[in-house]
Structure 1
Amino acid sequence: MTAAEALLAAGALHLGFQLVVTGVVYPALAEVPDADWTRAHDAHSRRITMIVAPFYLLLAAACLWVLVSGPYDALTLTSVAGAAIAALTTALVAAPTHGRLERDGRNEVLMRRLRFADGVRLGGAVLCAACAFAA
């Protein structure tokens, strides 16, 4: 397997994961009644962390492999940028927002921020996978 193939595989896996989060996980979480919010959000956070970490580690490893192995073209660099957008949005927006949701409880401002961050992550995942495929 080449570095470019690893990036394509990791990007495609990440896109599939992100589509499930955007299309299934977050809508289900948003429908949880207020009385069950703390329990449901705590369970979500425990479960998703065990899945998110390996996906992002795999994606980071593939991006690093591509960057170290070179040479690469603009599509490959754009693919890596898409992965970086998704990862940074998770680390800098989604994870802290989940922390506030856990600490402060659900409110519409935090839920909008979470949905916005999720849209940015989905865009980054699409960019990563599409550009890796095109490259």
Structure 2
Amino acid sequence: MDPSHVYLLVVTGLAVYVVGISLMTTQVSYPLYASVPADAFVAYHARYSRRIQPIIIAPGFPTFLACVVFPFVRPGSVSVWAGALVAAGGVVALGATLSTAIPAHVRLQRDGFTPAHYRRLRTADVIRTGACVLSAAVLIACFPDAFTPR
């Protein structure tokens, strides 16, 4: 197996993991924010932010970047279009995280829970999760072409 195939395997594994944690965050973690009492929210958010670093942040950013790089290191049997879609998912996920999700978290931590900050976070999360699903689905779809003997 050449390095491009190893890259495909690794980035696919990371992408599937990130989709799983993204869906859990979308369906479980963020909806719970609205249930935290206002006077306890800042402390809750601080604990949440510390605990997500190794589980969500540490694998998330490398995965977004690995997807962006994928078109340049993809196996030759994987189409340029597939590589471009994977990269687009990485760019969108990274962009939504940097431009909207992180600033929303900063504001929630600073100001406490507000509907406006929460809406921004949820919007960024839906966009990021959709982008992650796109990248992971295309990566999985690449396997037959990449690993079929020619």
Decide whether the 8 Å contact of 1:90 with 1:121 is kept in 2. Answer: yes
Residue-by-residue CA offset, 1:6-56 (whole Å, 9 max, x unaligned): 222121111011011111111122211112111111111111123233212
Cα RMSD (Å):
1.9
Matches within 5 A, 1:51-62: 51-60=55-64, 62=66
More divergent stretch after superposition (112-121 vs 25-34): 25-34
Q: Does 1:132 align with 2:132?
A: no
Relative contact order (alpha carbons < 8 A, sep ≥ 6): 1 or 2 greater? 1
Counterpart Cα distance in 2 of 1:80 and 1:10: 14
Show the counterpart of 2:53.
Answer: 49
Structure 1 length-normalised TM: 0.87
- In structure 2, the gaps of 5 or more residues are 143-150
Q: Structure 1's 73 and 131: CA in aligned 2 closer, same or farther, altered over 3 A?
A: same
Question: Residue 91 in 1 paired to residue 98 in 2?
Answer: yes
| Greater radius of gyration (CA) | 2
Aligned to 1:105: 112
> 2:41 maps to what in 1?
37
1:18 paired to 2:22: yes
Give aligned pairs, total.
Answer: 135
Cα distance in structure 2, aligned partners of 1:26 and 1:17: 12
* Contact map agreement 1:6 1:62 (CA 8 A) in 2: no
Unaligned runs of 5+ in 1: none
What is the CA-CA distance between 1:76 and the residue it aligns to? 2.2
Secondary structure, aligned partner of 1:2: helix
